[in-house]
C-alpha cells in the first residue's frame, strides 16, 4: 500500500469497490455542490467558507485531501493531517505522528448505507499500516449517525471535549 502522507503525487486503491485519490483543482465545483447538501451544511457549515479552506490547503504538505469513489463514482471527501501541525487542544495529548480525519459523504443517496463505515475503516487501516500510531476523529456530539459509523469502523470513544464552542467526541483508531 502507498503511504499517502509522504507521496502526494500518487493515488491508492484499496479494492474493487472504494478508491481514494488526491483532490484536484477541477474537483472544486463538485466539492462545492457536496458542501451545499443539507447533511454537509449541518456539520461543516457555510459551503463557500469550507470550499475556500479546502482550496487554501491544496499546497499544504501536512494535509492530505482525498476524493473517495464507489465503483469509480466519486461520492465522498476525506482529509487527514498530522494533529500537531494544527495544534488543537483535543488532540494535544496524542503521540507525534498521529493523524486526524475529517470527512463527509457528498452524495445524499449514499448516506446511511454503510459506506462511511467501510471507507473510513479502509483509510484508517491504510494509515496505520503506513506507521501512523493513532488515527483520530472528533465528530460533534450531536452527530450520532457519524459516531455510530465511526464506532463500526473501529474507532473507540476516548472522551468528550469542547471544540470551537461545540461539544465533540474524540474517537481513536489504534488497532
Q: What is the CATH number of domain 12-137?
A: 3.40.630.30
Q: Report phi then psi at 117, rounded to 5.
A: -55, -45
**Whole-angstrom Cα distance, residue 173 to residue 132?**
10
pLDDT at 160: 82
Q: pTM for the complete prediction? A: 0.86
pLDDT at 4: 42
Domain extent listing, the chain: 12-137
pLDDT at 13: 54
pLDDT at 62: 87
Q: What is the mean pLDDT of residues 27-52?
A: 92
**Whole-angstrom Cα distance, residue 67 to residue 20?**
6
Amino acid at each position: 500500500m502507498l503511504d499517502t502522507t509522504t507521496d502526494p503525487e500518487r493515488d491508492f486503491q484499496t479494492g474493487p469497490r472504494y478508491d481514494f485519490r488526491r483532490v484536484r483543482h477541477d474537483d472544486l465545483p463538485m466539492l462545492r455542490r457536496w458542501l451545499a447538501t443539507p447533511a454537509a451544511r449541518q456539520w461543516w457549515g457555510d459551503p463557500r467558507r469550507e470550499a475556500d479552506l479546502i482550496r487554501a490547503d491544496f499546497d499544504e504538505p501536512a494535509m492530505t485531501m482525498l476524493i473517495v469513489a464507489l465503483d469509480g463514482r466519486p461520492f465522498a471527501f476525506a482529509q487527514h493531517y498530522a494533529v500537531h501541525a494544527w495544534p488543537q487542544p483535543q488532540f494535544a495529548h496524542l503521540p507525534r505522528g498521529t493523524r486526524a480525519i475529517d470527512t463527509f459523504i457528498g452524495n445524499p443517496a449514499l448516506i446511511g448505507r454503510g459506506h462511511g463505515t467501510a471507507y473510513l475503516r479502509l483509510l484508517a487501516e491504510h494509515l496505520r499500516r503506513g506507521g501512523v500510531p493513532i488515527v483520530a476523529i472528533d465528530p460533534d456530539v450531536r452527530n450520532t449517525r457519524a459516531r455510530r459509523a465511526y464506532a463500526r469502523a473501529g474507532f473507540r470513544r476516548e472522551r468528550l471535549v469542547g471544540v470551537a464552542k461545540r461539544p465533540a467526541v474524540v474517537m481513536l483508531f489504534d488497532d
